A = this chain, B = another copy of it.
Amino acid sequence: MKSSLEILKERMGDVNALGAAMAMMDWDQQTYMPRGGAEARANHLECLSKMHHDIFIADETRKALEGAKAEASSEDDVALLRVIGRDLDLATKLPSELVARKTKLSAIAHEEWVRARTQDDFEGFAPTLEQMFEIVKEEAHHLGFTDHIYDAVTDQYEEGATAADWKKMFEAIKGPQVELVKAIQATGPVDDSRLYGEWDRQKQSQFTEMIVSKIGFDFNRGRQDTAPHPFCTGWSVGDIRLTTRYKPYLGSAIFGSLHEAGHGMYEQGSPAAWDLTSLAGGVSLGLHESQSRTWENIVGRSEAFWSHFLPNLQESFPQLADIELGSFMRMINKVEPSLIRVEADELTYNLHVLVRFEIECAVLEGSLEVKDLPEAWNAKYKEYLGITPPNNAQGCLQDVHWSMGSIGYFPTYSMGNILSYQIWNSLEKDVKNPFDLIAKGEFESILGWLQKNIYSQGRKHTPKDLIKAATGEEMNTKYYLDGLGAKYRKLYSL
């Protein structure tokens, strides 16, 4: 007779397979699907998401989980049951009907958002967005919270995080970041026009695959394709995929690829023994983002990195042959308040996130109505970034997240930024002079440290425990502010 643990693992195998099927369809939709396939794809995803939810939250799963708790003896099995338990608790609180309704609204809202952004028509999109916020409020009440409604939704993305945590985080970084931005702006504008032009796609593809392969992304267990919005996804430790994009700004492909490769190496570093189980992969969005930002910004925008790779880039694109390392560094680290989050520099990025966080809180708690959202958005951009969007397309309609119902997600981007420097600080205690290694094109010990301390831990510990184990303390904004300050004061000779 099968043990409860075996029954549970079998059921979770089905849940995992359905998740894999949805991830495959999603990857395909964003990379290769012909236009005509959209309607059927939405239909198939709706069916699969409902099946996924129903099979997962069925009484049999709960029963097997409870039985397995008495059987589990290994540390890994105990951790596995904790993780399944958390996921199951969250999922069980949400009625199937609500899950299916959200999936369906997402498909519709996504199409409407695309149209609204193209036509700068917030008014036309507002009723749908309002419905989405209402659904997320419903979710929050099903999930439950004690202090703030935001706590319920953000915990889904970052276990244990609360609105109060995020407020504290933003308060700590906002002042110093605004000040640093102002000091940099006083030094006058940086001309990065040389990085705009028409760049051969094939060469961009080859160059980005070369650098991400050099830093440690394994192409035997992954690949890179193109997508309108770069992302990373996967099916097993043996199949992790990146996407990038080719735009007039050459940095789009380079830093897009490095960013996604950071996510990808995190996933590729998950232990093979946990593959296809709930222990595999990244522990939270914040920690995942810390790794994409580490490889994109700390490594990928460093002087050491480009002292090694600029000659290769110039070989691929001879029109850049006369650019010196110093000016290249200022170009790729140009700081300037701008309208669009995904194109924002490392310093102003968190201010974009803050705007979204405050607006999400206000709408969820009922102090802001969706119809008044553009006004609130523009006022905050004026206040934090000193600029006003000329229209809603470049304002509150710019992000895809809300149309998908991903509300409570944005602050994890800033958490990732902050953690990237904190983790790097710990890494530097063990890996001596990492930038000397980077300058030589040697990434093994850096990747090895991250693998050992972060990637190989999968979801075994809670995010908070993992941060503590890897860095010796809770999330601390000090390393981020110090690191950014040092980097930019040097770059801009402040």
Q: Which residues from chain A sit less than 8 Å from chain B, CB to CB?
A: 13-14, 16-18, 20-22, 24-25, 28, 32-41, 43-44, 47-48, 51, 218-223, 225, 235-239, 241, 275-276
Taking a contact as CB atoms under 8 Å apart, the answer to whether B276 and A33 are in contact is no
The 4 A-B pairs of least Cβ separation, nearest first, read: A36-B238, A37-B239, A40-B236, A36-B221
Q: Given A24-B28, A28-B24, A276-B43, are A235 and B37 neighbors across the interface (CB < 8 Å)? A: yes
- State the CA gap A235–B37 with chains docked (Å): 8
Taking a contact as CB atoms under 8 Å apart, the answer to whether B221 and A34 are in contact is yes
- State the CA gap A167–B41 with chains docked (Å): 43
**Which of B25, B34, B41, B276 interacts with A222 by CB under 8 Å?**
B34
The minimal Cβ–Cβ distance linking A237 to chain B, given in whole angstroms, is: 8
The minimal Cβ–Cβ distance linking A227 to chain B, given in whole angstroms, is: 13
Residue on B with the closest CB to A14? B47
The minimal Cβ–Cβ distance linking A269 to chain B, given in whole angstroms, is: 13
The minimal Cβ–Cβ distance linking A358 to chain B, given in whole angstroms, is: 39
Taking a contact as CB atoms under 8 Å apart, the answer to whether B44 and A20 are in contact is yes
The minimal Cβ–Cβ distance linking A232 to chain B, given in whole angstroms, is: 14
The minimal Cβ–Cβ distance linking A7 to chain B, given in whole angstroms, is: 14
A/B interface sample: 17 pairs, CB < 8 A? A13-B47, A14-B47, A17-B47, A17-B51, A18-B21, A24-B28, A32-B223, A34-B219, A34-B239, A35-B238, A37-B236, A37-B238, A37-B239, A40-B276, A44-B235, A44-B276, A51-B51
Taking a contact as CB atoms under 8 Å apart, the answer to whether A36 and B276 are in contact is no
Taking a contact as CB atoms under 8 Å apart, the answer to whether A28 and B28 are in contact is yes
Taking a contact as CB atoms under 8 Å apart, the answer to whether A239 and B25 are in contact is no
Q: Given A28-B28, A276-B43, are A239 and B17 neighbors across the interface (CB < 8 Å)? A: no
Given A35-B221, A39-B238, A40-B238; 7 other pairs, CB 8 A cutoff: A16-B47, A17-B48, A18-B51, A21-B25, A34-B222, A35-B238, A37-B239
- State the CA gap A51–B20 with chains docked (Å): 14
**Which of B17, B18, B25 interacts with A43 by CB under 8 Å?**
B17
Residue on B with the closest CB to A28? B24
Taking a contact as CB atoms under 8 Å apart, the answer to whether B47 and A236 are in contact is no
Residue on B with the closest CB to A54? B14
The minimal Cβ–Cβ distance linking A29 to chain B, given in whole angstroms, is: 10
Interface centre among A16, A20, A219, A220 (most CB of B within 10 A): A20
The minimal Cβ–Cβ distance linking A369 to chain B, given in whole angstroms, is: 37
- State the CA gap A218–B35 with chains docked (Å): 11
The minimal Cβ–Cβ distance linking A393 to chain B, given in whole angstroms, is: 26
- State the CA gap A52–B82 with chains docked (Å): 30
Report B-chain residues with C-beta under 8 Å of the C-beta of A235. Answer: 37, 40-41, 44
The minimal Cβ–Cβ distance linking A366 to chain B, given in whole angstroms, is: 37
- State the CA gap A16–B45 with chains docked (Å): 11
- State the CA gap A36–B237 with chains docked (Å): 8
Report B-chain residues with C-beta under 8 Å of the C-beta of A221. Answer: 34-37
Report B-chain residues with C-beta under 8 Å of the C-beta of A24. Answer: 21, 24-25, 28
Report B-chain residues with C-beta under 8 Å of the C-beta of A44. Answer: 16-17, 20-21, 235, 276
The minimal Cβ–Cβ distance linking A226 to chain B, given in whole angstroms, is: 12
- State the CA gap A24–B26 with chains docked (Å): 11
Report B-chain residues with C-beta under 8 Å of the C-beta of A18. Answer: 21, 48, 51
- State the CA gap A400–B129 with chains docked (Å): 51
- State the CA gap A211–B484 with chains docked (Å): 56
Residue on B with the closest CB to A268? B36
- State the CA gap A51–B223 with chains docked (Å): 29
The minimal Cβ–Cβ distance linking A225 to chain B, given in whole angstroms, is: 8
Report B-chain residues with C-beta under 8 Å of the C-beta of A33. Answer: 239
Interface centre among A16, A17, A28, A48 (most CB of B within 10 A): A17
- State the CA gap A130–B201 with chains docked (Å): 50
Q: Given A20-B44, A36-B221, A219-B34, are A51 and B238 neighbors across the interface (CB < 8 Å)? A: no
- State the CA gap A410–B360 with chains docked (Å): 60
The minimal Cβ–Cβ distance linking A83 to chain B, given in whole angstroms, is: 19
Taking a contact as CB atoms under 8 Å apart, the answer to whether B220 and A51 are in contact is no
